[in-house]
Amino acid sequence: MADNKKYYYLKLADDFFNRQEIVFIEKMKDGDKYIVVLLKLYLLSLKDDGRLSFKKLVPYDTKMLATITKKSENFIKKAINLFEKYELIEVLDTGIIYMNDIQSFIGKSSTEADRKREQRKRVKAEKEQNAKNTSDENMGHLSDICPPNVHERIENRDKRIENRELQQEIDKNILESSPRDEQATSSLSSLFEFWESNGFGMLAPKTRQDLAYWVEDFQEIGATEQEALELIQEALNLAINANARRYNYVNGILKNWEAKRYTSVKQVNADRKTSAGMRKDMTDRQREDYEKVEREAMENPNSIYNAF
């Protein structure tokens, strides 16, 4: 009997080479070589659901990948950085590499949605285990400064993302025919165009999806769809002003606002005025420390500063 949970062939959509990130990589110096390496990594990860490992036991490092792909280790390091930048892969803190969207390249079947869900669970479980191993000794301290509801929100968001993606897979036709979804897509299109026309670079599919989820997340705490879009737009403007045109920075701003339960740009501006007033009464050293905390909160979305 065939095992529906195991697939050992790669299936590319006919528009694979028309994807923005693939086109952009191909136009780079040695772009064709990077694409070949990417396809080889997809093939290597098939037997372990997107995880790059030897016989499902030993994670591949750059030296091993260089040997397998017949490229220099330096070239592989550049390729890994490039693929991570365009969110084609995810590199965990442990160094383990996961190929994003690998399930999209496996032949369709009735179990496709299940496979996607299982891969997400596996990546999440490995991240959580790694975080647990590295933070046990600090748990007492963190519990004093990080409210439990912050962890709850992060966990709930992961669950929402998982459920939404599964529902989209099952009810794709219904979603596409919904007038409300068409309107939301139209509103988001302007946001996406702003992203690409203001120096943020090509919008990766995952980032596009994450921005759409942010609209829903702000709506869930009381914002209207328009207010949610304006909040994201304001975060993009702040990133431009700070010359930090990258999603990680924007995501940090939005997480900070969500934690403060802001539902409009008006609230953001009010907080900004309050902060400006506080700075006037600070010493130079206090002002420097305050600005350092703010930068940390923006640069690192998972920073404890975003808990407040």
Task: Output the pLDDT for position 169.
Answer: 52
Contacts for 19-23: CB closer than 8 Å, 24+ residues apart: 19/205, 20/202, 20/203, 20/204, 21/86, 21/87, 21/88, 21/202, 21/204, 21/205
d(CA 18, CA 259): 38
List Cα–Cα distances, 2 to 5, 7, 105, 111, in angstroms. Answer: 9, 10, 19, 13
Task: Output the pLDDT for position 111.
Answer: 53
- CATH number corresponding to 9-106: 1.10.10.10
Q: pLDDT for 232-276, tens place per residue?
A: 999 999 999 988 898 888 988 998 898 888 999 999 888 877 766
- Dihedral (C-alpha) 165, 166, 168, 170: value to the nearest 10 degrees? 170
Task: Output the pLDDT for position 302.
Answer: 44
Is 162 a residue whose pLDDT tops 70?
no
Q: pLDDT for 296-307, tens place per residue?
A: 555 554 443 343
Q: pLDDT for 25-69, tens place per residue?
A: 999 989 999 999 999 998 888 877 788 887 777 788 888 899 989
Instruction: Look at the domain 185-299 and name its fold.
Output: Arc Repressor Mutant, subunit A (1.10.10)
List every span in the chain annotated with CATH 1.10.10.10. Answer: 9-106
List every span in the chain annotated with CATH 1.10.10.630. Answer: 185-299
Q: How confident is residue 123, by pLDDT bands cut at 50, 70 and 90?
A: confident
List Cα–Cα distances, 101 to 160, 166, 182, 273, in angstroms. Answer: 18, 13, 24, 43
CA angle, 82 as apex, 9 and 256 as ends, to 5°? Answer: 110
Q: pLDDT for 107-119, tens place per residue?
A: 544 455 556 666 6
Q: 16: which 2 tokens? A: 């694979």
d(CA 298, CA 301): 6
